Structure formats: C-alpha cells, structure tokens
C-alpha cells in the first residue's frame, strides 16, 4: 500500500547538510541547535545509520543514530563514538519539518533503522527524550531507563529542560533489566 504522504527514505549525504540544518532550525530552540561541523562529522562516523525522508520539496525529516552501548548517553553537541561490538542503536536526533508533521514519518524513520537490528545484533535502542517527547517515544515502544555509564549524568545535564533517558528492548534479555 502506498504511504499517503509522498516521500522516500534514503541515506543522508554531505550535500544534504543545509537542508538538515534547516529542519533542525525549525524543530529546536537556539540552545539546542548543534553545529554544522558536528552534524557533518556524525555523518562520516555513522553513515549507515543517518537517514532522511525526502518529499517533493526536499529533506523533510531526518534521524541521526549510531551503534553504541546500552547505558551510554551522547552529550548535546558531541560527536558519535561508534562502539565496536555495539549492543544498542542510539537515536541521537529525530526531527520532522513542520510541513510533514503527524504523517507517520518519525515512526517510519525509526522502523527503517531498527530493521537492521537482527543483522547487527543490537539488543536495544536508546535515546534521550527532550522537548516533552516522552509520550511520543512511549508510543514507539521506549520506556524510561537508567543510564549506568559513568558519564551519563553529565551527558544528560547538557540538555536543557527535563531530558529523559529511554530504552526499547529489541530482544528478550537473558537476565531481566531491573531499571526499565
Ligand atoms: C517528535 C516528532 C519527531 C514526531 O514526529 P511525527 O512525524 O509527527 O511523528 P509520527 O507522525 O511518526 O507519530 C508517530 C506516533 O507518535 C504519536 N505522537 C506524535 N507526536 C506525539 C506527541 N507529541 N505526543 C504523543 N504522541 C505523539 C503519533 O500519534 C503516532 O502514533 P500512532 O503511530 O500510534 O498513530 C516531531 O514532533 C518533531 O520533530 N519534534 C521536534 C524535534 C524533537 O523534539 N525531536 C525529538 C527529540 S528526542
């Protein structure tokens, strides 16, 4: 069945940088805008997990993610440290331009990357919810989690407002996770 909002999902390339920054500017307040060099470096570090949705006017949504370890948090404005033997897909930035909101694009972008999980052996997906998006992430199967990495507290504190670490299990854990 054709999706009602005409778009295609594809990898982000360096030429998309301005369009991505336009979406970022429309979706975040100044205190949360991340620098062009950082965005570009993330693309180079994790090209296989940075994707965009494109409609007739161009890039209308994006998702920057990278293979990481459960419990680790990326500070605002930091680069992606892709983990060898990653167990988690960390979603760092998901944004949908105002013209494309509420059409299911955010869910489709997340599903698109999570489809790689069995082949990549990711056991979980994690993120920091900002801008009051916890209910949105709950709708996508994420639950509040306890980031246990030593730097996680400082990383969470780099976000303005009530930032919340959230986790979605992708496989049944051998040992129950007490915190999520
Ligand atoms: C959050 C955001 C990505 C959602 O994008 P979207 O394209 O409107 O989301 P979708 O249409 O794919 O919605 C997916 C589901 O979440 C629900 N949802 C969307 N926004 C929601 C919200 N604010 N609260 C609760 N549920 C929400 C939808 O109803 C939908 O549920 P359904 O599939 O069961 O019908 C978008 O609002 C955005 O870009 N916000 C600004 C940037 C931002 O804060 N990103 C998150 C950083 S952690």
pLDDT in tens, 167-176: 999 987 655 5
In-domain check, residue 142: yes
Does the beta carbon of 164 sit less than 6 angstroms from any atom of ligand 1? no
In-domain check, residue 66: yes
| Whole-number average pLDDT of the chain | 94
- Site to probe by mutation for ligand 1, drawn from 25, 133, 134 as the one with most ligand atoms within 8 Å of Cβ, is 133
Over residues 83-95, mean pLDDT: 97
Domain count across the chain? 1
pTM for the model stands at 0.94
In-domain check, residue 1: no
In-domain check, residue 152: yes
In-domain check, residue 179: no
Measured from the CA of 131, which atom of ligand 1 is nearest? 44
Domain CATH code at residue 62: 3.40.630.30
In b/e form, how buried is each residue of 13-31, taking b as 16+ CB within 10 angstroms? eeebbebbbebbeebbeee
pLDDT in tens, 104-153: 999 999 999 999 999 999 999 999 999 999 999 999 999 999 998 999 99
CA atoms of 21 and 98, how far apart (whole Å):
14
In-domain check, residue 180: no
Sequence-distant (6+) residues with CB within 8 A of 80 are 41, 42, 45, 46, 64, 66, 74, 92
- Give me the pLDDT at residue 180, please: 46
Measured from the CA of 108, which atom of ligand 1 is nearest? 12
Residue 165: domain span: 8-169
In-domain check, residue 56: yes
């Amino acid at each position: 069945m054709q999706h009602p909002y005409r778009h295609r999902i594809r990898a982000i390339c360096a030429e998309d940088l301005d369009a991505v920054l336009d979406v970022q500017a429309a979706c975040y307040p100044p205190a949360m805008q991340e620098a062009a060099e950082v965005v570009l470096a993330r693309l180079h570090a994790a090209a296989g997990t940075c994707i965009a949705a494109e409609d007739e006017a161009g890039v209308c949504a994006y998702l920057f993610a990278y293979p990481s370890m459960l419990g680790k948090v990326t500070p605002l404005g930091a680069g992606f440290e892709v983990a060898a033997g990653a167990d988690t897909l960390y979603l760092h930035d998901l944004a949908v331009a105002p013209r494309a909101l509420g059409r299911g694009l955010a869910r489709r972008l997340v599903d698109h990357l999570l489809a790689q999980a069995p082949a990549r052996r990711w056991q979980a997906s994690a993120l920091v919810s900002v801008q009051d998006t916890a209910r949105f992430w709950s709708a996508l199967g994420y639950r509040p989690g306890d980031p246990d990495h030593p730097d996680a507290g400082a990383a969470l504190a780099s976000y303005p407002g009530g930032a919340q670490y959230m986790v979605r299990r992708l496989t049944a854990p051998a040992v129950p996770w007490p915190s999520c």
